[in-house]
Chain A
Amino acid sequence: NAGVMQNPRHLVRRRGQEARLRCSPMKGHSHVYWYRQLPEEGLKFMVYLQKENIIDESGMPKERFSAEFPKEGPSILRIQQVVRGDSAAYFCASSGVDGYTFGSGTRLTVV
């Protein structure tokens, strides 16, 4: 079991570009969560998805951010027209009956 896989590990985007972050959950897990972490801070919940459904997006910014978890393939967190304030580590987690497991994160730098 490879665990939660996130890619890319590091992503650099210029202001105004789009960022696409991918997350493949652990085998057997059907719940996916995205969190954002700023330097020296804790993780902040963004969105909770199950296959083809957004269950809780209370932590997602209203604009420019979207997430999906299609029937086939990884979950995608998309950030359109990135700004410098979007620079952060974005962690994905998946859960099943055995609890939560986090991926290693994608570190987004907006220049």
Chain B
Amino acid sequence: GESVGLHLPTLSVQEGDNSIINCAYSNSASDYFIWYKQESGKGPQFIIDIRSNMDKRQGQRVTVLLNKTVKHLSLQIAATQPGDSAVYFCAENKAQGAQKLVFGQGTRLTINP
């Protein structure tokens, strides 16, 4: 079946450092990938997305890399801030804007002062 998983369940970094969160997916037919941030007691919040015809996309302090050869997705957060502490999920979909999302387990990112 389809599955999206993460390599590391927890990650601690010093404030100001860069962080990298990884994700492996198994469905080669997926066309669209999203990173979500979830703070305690809240719903998932969209961070950045990437389509399968791209290998890199940058946002504000965040970069998503997609390696379709090894079915690997990563989220890079630059100059981490205390507000970046949260659980980060990758998710995959067949197409943007429709159908179900398949989520990974999540990585808890803690930013140390």
Report A's interface with B, CB cutoff 8 A: 4, 31, 33, 35, 40-45, 48, 56, 58-59, 91, 93, 95-105
Interface residues, chain B, CB within 8 Å of chain A? 4, 34, 36, 41-46, 49, 89, 91, 96-106
Question: Cβ of B100 and Cβ of A59 under 8 Å apart?
Answer: yes
- Pick from B36, B89, B96, B101: contact of A45, CB under 8 Å: B101
For the complex formed, measure the closest distance between the CB of A58 and the CB atoms of chain B, giving whole angstroms.
8
State whether A44 touches B103 (Cβ < 8 A): yes
Since A43-B101, A45-B102, A101-B46 are in contact, a sample of 16 more A-B pairs with Cβ atoms closer than 8 Å, ordered by chain A residue number, is: A31-B98, A33-B100, A42-B4, A42-B103, A42-B104, A42-B106, A43-B44, A43-B91, A45-B100, A48-B99, A95-B97, A97-B97, A100-B46, A100-B97, A102-B45, A104-B43
Q: Is the CB of B103 within 8 A of A43?
A: yes
CB within 8 Å for A91 and B44 given contacts A96-B97, A99-B97: yes
**Nearest Cβ in chain A — how far from B47, in angstroms?**
12
* CB of A49, distance to nearest CB on chain B (Å): 11
Please indicate the chain B residues that have their CB under 8 angstroms from the CB of A93 in the complex: 101
Report the bound CA distance from A91 to B42 in whole Å. 10
A95 to chain B: which residues have CB within 8 Å? 97-98
CA distance in complex: A104, B40 (Å)? 10
